[in-house]
Structure 1
Amino acid sequence: MPLFKFSTGTLCSLFALLLLSSQQTAAGQTAPQAASPQPPPDRWNFIGDSPDNPPPLATDLSANLKVKDVDRAMRKVANWQLQRVQGHFNEDWTFAAMDAGFMVASKSLKEPSYENYVRAVGENFQWRLGPRQTHADDQAIGQSYLEIYMGLKTHDARIITPLRQQFDQVMTLPDDPAKPFWWWCDALFMAPPVWARLYQATGEKRYLDYMDHEWWITSKLLYDPAEHLYFRDATYFDKREKNGAKIFWSRGNGWVMAGLARVLAAMPQDYPDRSKFVQQFKEMSARVIQLQQTDGLWRPGLLDPGAYPLPEVSGSAFLVYALAWGVNHGILDRTTYMPAIEKGWKGLIAHIYADGRLGCIQPVGAAPGAFQADSSYVYGVGAFLLAGSEVRSLHVRN
């Protein structure tokens, strides 16, 4: 007889701890197992004012899905954020998500100042990605670089060469499914759309094939086929909410669904594995609309909404973006999903302040957590602008 007997849950926990302890970032540091500390106040992020003296909410906006109303809300939020980041250049994932929103807002609103800011970021860093070669967070800025590159009438090789050289090197590294590069679900927004867009920019299918291979390694590890949701990372397999439910982070799943939308947008219709991506997108979409709350938004912990007093706007905005994108591109049924999109957009509009600040955004972290109603962070603004770009298209294409 064995000396020790372990339950399935215990074995999962041991596996998760062994997996994360063995994973090293490109900078040589062990992958984080807990939420990052809240960043200090700065001019582009707002932890929040005193709860006893909240700022006034906007009264000049409408939650109507008409283009003029959506555009007004997008412009108000984008202008507020742009004013605060002007002259500050950052290639990390938080700003990369904002930049993605700026790029779509620039096209939707025909406002070049947003894209011009992103171009200035690229020029500042000479179109290089972040410092960690294989880390998805440092690759996310490549989404906007490639969008700028493909939008030029005459392609500028300076924009694409550093990214392409780095990805060519990454593809030569040993591949170990037991130690995936994309070991946390957020990574599926950060890196895969860059690889898919590099395929678009070059026509070289090997970049898309690499993304495809790595996506399903991460999915096998983190996707719960019963819940149709992603765990944030392997350390959450056995963690539970106060009500005993599994912990599925709304922003983490928002990252994934937004990543799916952006990958599918760059993937040809006849790509062999496209149906797998579409199927996962449909499964997650059907699940998240079941978890939407009466205010149209989603709580930080998807399966225990009662444990969280505030909705989480960044995750909610990513979800609204993905759902609207799915309807716009014929993947999701309009009749089924439009009510959820309409409620979601109305809920987002309710968290815009008179000065244009977008509130109720959870700080940097790795799991559901506490925050103030008027806290604002750049990635949440990016998510909102992405959502707005697709919501306005619902009316255009109706």
Structure 2
Amino acid sequence: MNKKPKLTLVLLSFILLSACAVRKNESAVPGKEAVKTAMQNVFKWQVAHPVVGNARNGDDWARSVFYSGIMRAYDQTKDKSYLNEAVRWAEALNYKLANRLRHADDHTRGQAYLEIYNIKKDPNMIAGTKSVYDSLLKTPKAGRVEWWWCDALFMSPPVLVRLAEITGEQKYNDFMSKMWWDTTDFLFDKEENLFYRDKSFFERKSPNGKKIFWSRGNGWVMGGLVQVLEHLPKSHPDYKRFEELYLKMSKKVASIQQEDGLWRPNLVDPLEYTNKETSGSSFFVFALAWGINNGYLDKTTYLPQVLKGWKALNEQVNSEGKLTWVQQIGAKPELVKSEDNQEYGSGAFLMAGTELLKMK
């Protein structure tokens, strides 16, 4: 009797079962405790290692984004260590926005302030933010003038929609929407479904002759867009436009994820800078996961990419909890080193983690 066919069948079955197990493992949402631990490790390390310079007015936004992520982490986990740290930071700043009245970067603190207000209900926590925007509403400028760089769509719009939600005053939503769409009409490339960082990139090309679309710049837009969709009433006349923009960008961003699960500094020319980059990648994982959780994106299509991205991000967190490969403060695709870290990267990582926690 020839036993070879039986042995071959057994071996084949083992290989197939092993392959199925690997695929199942790769498509499985990570356990909640594992995600919480990853978030806590990054949070604790970053709090213990504040970036020198981010306390200065000009770079205040870089730290403020971290605290936006911290408040999202608290909202999802109810872990008081997040809330206590955010309150400590906000109280040290007296719940005031930074100094430049008309500069969107200096509005970013308001994201965390308004989330803290939703818990504490102290009017003093939002008084400064409201005062700044009331002043701007009296002397408005066009979006392409005031929010002339795409990063601004993360910094200011999420504050405005929260302020409208808290106060019930729709003037903040209307102002936000008018500004947003003027900026979008100015900076959005309808062929690529991506945003130029600012007008200086309209005609510029990479050394390889490709257009230049900065990863973190588009990450800023998607991070802001998600928050607008969360807080803007669905009855608002422009809500569908925001939905359509989100879907266009999500499809494009998902299509250019790299094999290692991350995105490169120049989204449409990954060969310009081949190094890893985790701040833009964190925002993309956050935004795509949010879309799955809220029924905008097909889970079968997009979940594998979210999980691949989340796995890749965690591989860039060292044993101490430091998120590495974070492009430094800048305005275009650039070289990133393995040791590079910044507080906004950790904030985006926390945002991504909160959406992983919501997945089933």
1:36-80 deviation line (CA, Å, top 9, x unaligned): xxxxxxxxxxxxxxxxxxxxxxxxxxx952211111111111111
1:353-380 deviation line (CA, Å, top 9, x unaligned): 0111000000000000012112111000
CA contact (8 A) 2:50 2:343 kept: no
Cross-structure match for 2:132: 166
CA contact (8 A) 1:180 1:217 kept: no
Amino acid in the other structure paired with 2:137 = M
CA contact (8 A) 1:100 1:382 kept: yes
Amino acid in the other structure paired with 2:185 = K
CA contact (8 A) 1:89 1:124 kept: no
Alignment match of 2:80 (pick from 106, 112, 122): 112
Amino acid in the other structure paired with 1:65 = P
Cross-structure match for 1:294: 259
Cross-structure match for 2:9: none
Cross-structure match for 1:19: none
**Matching of residues 143-158 of structure 1 within 5 Å:** 143-152=111-120, 155-158=121-124
Matches of 1:111 and 1:148, distance apart in 2 = 14
Matches of 2:289 and 2:208, distance apart in 1 = 31
1:275-305 deviation line (CA, Å, top 9, x unaligned): 0000000000000111000011100001111
Cross-structure match for 1:93: 61
Query: Is 1:254 equivalent to 2:219 in the alignment?
Result: yes
Matches of 1:215 and 1:240, distance apart in 2 = 26
Cross-structure match for 1:65: 30
Consecutive unaligned residues of structure 2, counting only runs of 5 or more, are: 1-27
The answer to which of 275-284 and 125-134 deviates more is: 125-134
1:20-44 deviation line (CA, Å, top 9, x unaligned): xxxxxxxxxxxxxxxxxxxxxxxxx
Cross-structure match for 2:168: 203
Instruction: Report the TM-score when normalising by structure 2.
Output: 0.88
Query: Is 1:305 equivalent to 2:273 in the alignment?
Result: no
Alignment match of 1:136 (pick from 76, 92, 104): 104
**Matching of residues 77-92 of structure 1 within 5 Å:** 77-85=42-50, 90=55, 92=60
Cross-structure match for 1:215: 180
Consecutive unaligned residues of structure 1, counting only runs of 5 or more, are: 1-62
CA contact (8 A) 1:197 1:266 kept: yes
Matches of 1:376 and 1:211, distance apart in 2 = 31
Amino acid in the other structure paired with 1:301 = N
Q: Percent of aligned positions with the same letter in both sequences?
A: 43
CA contact (8 A) 1:242 1:304 kept: no
Matches of 1:161 and 1:307, distance apart in 2 = 46
Cross-structure match for 1:47: none
Query: C-alpha displacement at 1:89, in angstroms?
Result: 8.6
Query: C-alpha displacement at 1:113, in angstroms?
Result: 2.1
* Structure number, greater radius of gyration: 2
Cross-structure match for 1:264: 229
Query: C-alpha displacement at 1:197, in angstroms?
Result: 0.4
SS at 1:245 equivalent:
coil
SS at 1:180 equivalent:
helix
Amino acid in the other structure paired with 2:131 = Q
Matches of 2:267 and 2:216, distance apart in 1 = 9
Amino acid in the other structure paired with 1:168 = D
Cross-structure match for 1:351: 316
Query: Is 1:244 equivalent to 2:209 in the alignment?
Result: yes
Alignment match of 2:296 (pick from 315, 328, 331): 331
SS at 2:138 equivalent:
coil
Query: C-alpha displacement at 1:174, in angstroms?
Result: 4.0
Instruction: Report the TM-score when normalising by structure 1.
Output: 0.80
Cross-structure match for 1:381: 346
1:112-142 deviation line (CA, Å, top 9, x unaligned): 1222222122212211101000100000110
Matches of 2:94 and 2:43, distance apart in 1 = 25
Amino acid in the other structure paired with 1:273 = D
Q: Give the total of aligned pairs.
A: 330
Cross-structure match for 2:189: 224
